[in-house]
Amino acid sequence: MALHSSDSRARLIGVLRSACSGELAAGYAYRGHGKSVSSSEVRERIRIIEGEEWHHRTLVQGLLAELGAAPSSTREALFWLIGKTIGTFCRVGGFFIPMYGAGLLEQSNIREYEEAAVLARDAGLTGMIDCLLTMAEVEWEHERFFREQIVGHWMLRIFPLWKAPPPKETIRASYPREAAAVTLAAIG
Report, in Å, the least distance between residue 138 CB and Fe ion.
6
The nearer residue to Fe ion, 51 or 94, going by C-beta atoms, is 51
Query: Applying CB under 5 A, does 17 fall inside the site for Fe ion?
Result: no
Using CB under 5 A, which of the segments 7-15, 37-45, 51-59, 93-101 binds Fe ion?
A: 51-59
DSSP code string of 49-101: HHHHHHHHHHHHHHHHHHTT----HHHHHHHHHHHHHHHHHHTTSTTHHHHHH
Using CB under 5 A, which of the segments 3-11, 54-62, 76-84, 177-185 binds Fe ion?
A: 54-62
Size of the chain, expressed as the number of residues it contains? 188
The nearer residue to Fe ion, 103 or 178, going by C-beta atoms, is 103
Query: CA-CA distances (angstroms) from residue 150 to 34, 95, 99?
Result: 16, 9, 7
Report, in Å, the least distance between residue 170 CB and Fe ion.
18
Q: For the CA atoms of the chain, what is the radius of gyration?
A: 17
Cβ 5 vs Cβ 59: under 8 Å: no
Query: Applying CB under 5 A, does 53 fall inside the site for Fe ion?
Result: yes
The nearer residue to Fe ion, 56 or 172, going by C-beta atoms, is 56
| Residues found near Fe ion in the complex (CB under 5 A) | 53, 56, 106, 139, 142
